[in-house]
A and B are shown apart, each in its own frame.
Chain A
Amino acid sequence: MRKPQRLLREGLIQSAARHPEKTALIVEGQEYTYGQLLDTSCRVARALLDRGVKRGDRVAVYMDNTWPCITSIYGILLAGGAFLMINPQTKADKLQYILRDSGATVLMTDGHLSRQFVRAVQGLPALRAIIASGNLPESEQLPVTLDLFALVIEETFPLDEPTFVIPNDLAALIYTSGSTGNPKGVMQTHQAMVFAAWSLIEYLRLSEQDRILLVLPLAFDYGLYQLLMAMKLGATLIVERSFTFPGQIYKKMHEEHATVFPGVPTIFATMISGHRKKELIFPEITRITNTAAALPADFIPWLQEIFPNALIYKMYGLTECKRVSYLEPELVHDKPTSVGQAIPGTEVFLRTLDGKPVPPGEPGILYVRGPHVMAGYWNQPELTGEMLKPGLLPGERILCTGDWFSMDEDGFLYFSGRSDDIIKTRGEKVSPVEVEQILHGIDGIKEAVVVGVDDEQLGQAICAFVVVRAGCELSDRRIKKMCLARLENFMVPKYIVELSEMPKTANGKIDKKQLLQSIQS
């Protein structure tokens, strides 16, 4: 009898037992079998236990999409810990905030990120050790021991028996931007993540034969789940660092015979503009998926030319429940503006602001019910209370997304807007408050307001309005540079508009609406 999968790591363990010699991963051109992946992950696991990691401990992964990154994720799970993924573009201050907030005991990272992590790891009481891939540029002063990944793997024997955990235990903390400015750690248990991954596999019709091409960061849950799904299916994952060099990705897509290509609108926009210059065609791809931002309906005919044999999936989700809905690909022409229906095994409904049911076609707040809903935000009971509401059964909690939707007679969802002012750019969530805080920290800036403006390539572009103190001179470039030193690249404003004063409402608040109108006109 085949054992059911209860824990995330069992996806890998079972596939490795079934076919240890099969290629699990192709990372930057290098192939790794299931056997190798499990073996190295078990070495990472023992190395973590040697460094004091215990059941439930958080271990941070601040890495690019690499082999050490993937083996770290599974190593942490085998050691009974919960992993937290931090985007490698994160700068020192925010990295330190996340490390402190999560209480991570070990940091897994890359040597080439040392400029940031060396500053971030100072003064963290919970942190015991760092393991870094690659090389370190020079000897750095660190408050805890740092070992090189390659040496650790060579010197450590694989762990024989994974640390005991049960499906209710925490598997991951996934940090996401919040409207308050500080990122929040979404707590996901094993059972929630195992459930979500199988639900996705079902509607994406994935199988062991699939070869998924990953260009999204593993630090983004959309990227992470490609790994989790591929490994539990026993499929093959082709891992690239990013979509930065499209020529490389197109080559890999052909050479490695990829069958599944998950993307975001910015990626598809780049492909379409490339295709209009010189034909691009990938007949072996049988499924493409889109989430993170709405796929414009006029992309569909182009995508069908580029991927003539692919089903096109439009999806919607948020980190707090991984994914909410998907549109059956056969309906992509019948329901061109819909993001579909609830993913298998879950349900969604709309409520008015005071909790009343909403008739078809009318706008309402979207609620999500199912095993994929998060356990809450780490260390943030109040924020958790705003998102998780009492459900149908005693003690049950359902997710209030805060997003406005309408639903047609057939139960298909249509996005109509967010209730907060989070900006979506290149598929990434950006909190205007977080950018404003950095702007306010720049000497010479008196006031700053950040808004999202429509942008063909990015979805939304970040626009900052600033009032500069009298007698100060700040160039756009200088402001951007200061932002880049402290924010992820995608958070740096594309436009900086200098004003002599901010428009105010009658109550003395900054009038964001007027600012938006001023640049749209």
Chain B
Amino acid sequence: MNEITTKIRLFIFENFLFDADEEDLKNDDSFLDQGIIDSTGVLELVEWLEDTFDITVDDDELIPENLDSVNQLAAYITRKT
């Protein structure tokens, strides 16, 4: 697991899963399907992305292809940084 993925998992567990077990979330699990992130959660996620990786997330980029799983997030961050 690379550094970005680890950071993402840490953030998701701390803020949305509150220290649930590691195996509760696979890297390609859809956050929507699993009910992990909702519309206010996405705003927190974006704030974290912008602060942590020093990127700007455009509203048009708030789509599941970029943000709906650990792997999608990791790919998106890699593209942006």
Chain A residues within CB distance 8 Å of chain B? 64, 88-89, 112, 241-248, 250-251, 266-267, 270, 274, 277-278, 280, 426, 457-458, 477-478, 480-481, 484, 489-490
Contact = CB atoms under 8 A, between A and B. Distances in A.
Contacts of B54: none
Given A241-B32, A244-B32, A245-B68, A426 B40 contact: yes
A78 B12 CA distance: 43
Nearest to A485: B20
B77 interface: no
A112 B68 CA distance: 15
Chain B interface bracket (under 10, 10 to 19, 20 to 34, 35 or more) = 20 to 34
Given A477-B14, A481-B20, A489-B35, A245 B59 contact: no
Contacts of A64: 32-33
A88 B59 contact: no
A245 B18 contact: no
B58 A246 contact: no
A250 B60 contact: yes
B19 interface: yes
Given A242-B38, A247-B63, A248-B63, 14 more contacts: A242-B39, A243-B39, A244-B37, A244-B39, A244-B41, A247-B61, A248-B62, A274-B59, A278-B58, A426-B40, A458-B40, A478-B19, A481-B19, A484-B18
A481 B40 contact: no
Contact of B63 (A251, A274, A478): A251
B55 interface: no
A231 B27 CA distance: 39
A478 B18 contact: yes
Nearest to B36: A489
Nearest to B20: A481
Contact of B59 (A89, A246, A480): A246
Contacts of A88: 35
Given A112-B34, A251-B63, A274-B59, A246 B18 contact: no
Residue among A112, A243, A266, A458 having the largest count of chain B Cβ atoms under 10 Å = A112
A268 B38 CA distance: 15
Given A241-B32, A478-B19, A481-B17, A266 B59 contact: no
A484 B15 CA distance: 11
Nearest to A271: B59
Nearest to A241: B32
A477 B68 contact: no
Contacts of A458: 40
Contact of B38 (A251, A277, A481, A490): A490
